[in-house]
Amino acid sequence: MIDLKFLRENPDVVRQSQITRGEDPALVDKLLAADEARREAIKNADALRQEQNGFGKRIGQASPEDRPALIEQSTLLKAKLKEAEATQKQAEQDVFDIQMQLGNVVQGAPAGGEDDFVVVEEVGEKTTFDFEPKDHLDIAEGLGILDMERGAKVSGSRFYFLKGLGAQLQLAMMNLAAQKAIEHGFTLMITPVIVRPETMQGTGFLGQHSDEIYYLQEDNQYLVGTSEVALAGYHSDEIIDLSQGPLHYAGWSSCFRREAGSYGKDTRGIIRVHQFDKLEMFVYCKPEDAEAQHQALLNMERDMLAAIEVPYRVIDIAGGDLGSSAARKFDTEAWIPTQNTYRELTSTSNCTTFQARRLKIRYRDEDGRTQIAATLNGTLATTRWLVAILENHQQADGSVIIPAALRPFMGGIERITK
């Protein structure tokens, strides 16, 4: 959630952020009014509380004939205080409810929606062939490394089995990502895939995209769509030590998404599925370090994409396409030859203090005062990357050349053949 002090001092900035996101700027004034009512309610309750505290001493010092009247006044004051505390509680809830509707304050992202991104750079020559290329599904099924039909039979549409060298290829990619994360000082984590509502809400995923999440009604818990959720909750309600620099974690987990609203989109193959594996980087840092950490995560993603030897581009996501937690987000998209376009493989988001404020994650500054931490995330590998690897490295005979960086994790195998 956004900082109320920042809101009071910079209402126009927050209004403009809402406009950039394509959301209602009137929420800013609504929150300002609710915050003013909350502060007035706190002031009234505090005054009554102070008055009541003085009554105990007055009654104790009063003469027997004055005491009944003072006791009666004290009783009336208690009733007024109870009412004032109820008003304060409601006012605080009103502020919280409106705060939860506001997304993070956009920082530097272009205005507009899904198609209004800005291309930051393109890396590598787009792959061309002297034969008719196949899409990733035809390649994988031809090689016997992916089974969509039986995935649907067992679990329904958008599920699959990775088989043999297909499973090994995914594990190789994930292990390479884990190795790179460790080399950059990240602590590797195997994270829970089921979380409590307060954790899911704290990361900002129960807003406008809540229909994407699998909810376990009997348990009142959620399946995660990214290990970012568990990693964000890892230090909830804590004061963390950032005196030696940011904390870096890399979470390996299966992820689950309902893909609600995507009916008819990317139904072929494994571009858009309900279950996939992912290695997610997560950073806790001081707010003033967040922008530099964001670039560092993006550079690690660039390095990983270079390792799998696919052409890609980096785009700056427009405000209207940001998740509620992100102040800014960069996507990296790989070239997919059979679609003649770039498709998202990974993203990295600077969430500033938005998630940490919800989850009460703090650190001590140089003066020993507690401050809200900043959080960032970025994907280093996920199942969808197989699409780019298979399509860009396919050969005329139907085989696929394994990128050199992945071969050590596949026993030295250089090529997948039928």
Q: Which of the residues are catalytic?
A: 257, 272, 344, 347, 384
What is the share, in percent, of the chain residues with pLDDT greater than 90? 81
Q: Please list the residues that pair with 189 across neighbouring strands.
A: 251
Residues 6+ apart with CB under 8 A from 229: 195, 199, 200, 203, 205, 222
Band of pLDDT at residue 322, cut at 50, 70 and 90: very high
Strand runs (DSSP E) across 198-257, as ranges? 215-216, 221-223, 239-240, 247-256
Q: Please list the residues that pair with 377 across neighbouring strands.
A: 282, 349
Which amino acids are annotated as binding site, given as ranges? 226-228, 257-259, 273-276, 280, 344-347, 377, 379
Collapsed DSSP state (helix, strand, coil) of residue 201: helix
Phi, psi of 177 (to 5 degrees): -60, -45
Q: Which two tokens stand for residue 378?
A: 């970025």
Rounded CA-CA distance 370/347 in Å is 30
Q: Is 145's pLDDT higher than 60? A: yes
Q: Is 239's pLDDT higher than 90? A: yes
pLDDT digits (tens, 9 = 90+) for 266-300: 778 999 999 999 999 999 999 999 999 999 999 99
Residues 6+ apart with CB under 8 A from 167: 145
Q: Is 60's pLDDT higher than 60? A: no
What value does the mean pLDDT take over residues 5-26?
92
- The total of other beta-carbon atoms located within 10 Å of residue 85's CB is 16
| Least trusted range by pLDDT, from 264-273, 316-325, 335-344, 406-415 | 264-273
Beta carbons of 118 and 330 less than 8 angstroms apart: no
Q: Is 58's pLDDT higher than 70? A: no
Q: Is 137's pLDDT higher than 90? A: yes
Rounded CA-CA distance 241/293 in Å is 17
Name the segment(s) of the chain with CATH classification 1.10.287.40.
Answer: 4-101
What value does the mean pLDDT take over residues 301-327?
95
Q: For domain 118-416, is the CATH number 3.30.930.10?
A: yes
Q: What is the DSSP letter of 105?
A: P
Name the segment(s) of the chain with CATH classification 3.30.930.10.
Answer: 118-416
How far are the Cα atoms of 128, 131, 325, 326, 380 from residue 322, in angstroms, in the given order? 33, 39, 8, 6, 19
Q: Which two tokens stand for residue 185?
A: 């000082």
Dihedral sign from CA coordinates of 63, 67, 69, 75 = positive
- The total of other beta-carbon atoms located within 10 Å of residue 392's CB is 25
* pLDDT at residue 267, rounded to an integer: 75
Beta carbons of 283 and 246 less than 8 angstroms apart: yes
Q: For domain 4-101, is the CATH number 1.10.132.50?
A: no
What value does the mean pLDDT take over residues 332-344?
96
